[in-house]
Amino acid sequence: MEGNRKGLAIILHSGSYDRIYHGLSIASIASALGREVKLFFTYWALEYLRREKSPTLSLDREGENHKDVLEKGLEKGHMKQISELLARAKRIGTRCYACVNSMALLNITRDELVDEVDESTGLATFLQEAGDAQILFV
């Protein structure tokens, strides 16, 4: 299994809480297993990187059908806040990137982003840095 340490690049596009949650969970587990992990936040996922803004439990259509389960999970502590998951992922080596094009579109400046963001970059540069890593689109 030692030779099976291919990197992992995760592109987070959706602003749906459950998708961000699972993307960060995958990132943390892969990092803990020794894989080099890079996260690329674009479009609506960028809202979870804003310093002064805590997104509400935003869900897509499928997630809305299960909103009460997610709210109870957060309330009881069975699920963590996105900020906690991001901080944990960073502690174990995950790198975090914000899409500059989406930032411009959504009028988000670098100063508005949380400290966990390593770099603001475009998709082409991110994919180049990802190299031959496995890519997931969430």
pTM of the model: 0.84
pLDDT above 70 for 72: no
Among residues 17, 13, 137, the alpha carbon closest in space to that of 79 is found at: 17
Instruction: Assess contact for 18 and 71: CB atoms under 8 A.
Output: no
CA dist 44 and 56 (Å) reads: 13
pLDDT tens-digit series, residues 28-66: 999 999 999 999 999 999 999 998 765 555 655 665 555
Q: For the chain, list the domains and their CATH numbers.
A: 8-137 (3.40.1260.10)
Lowest mean pLDDT among 11-25, 49-63, 87-101: 49-63
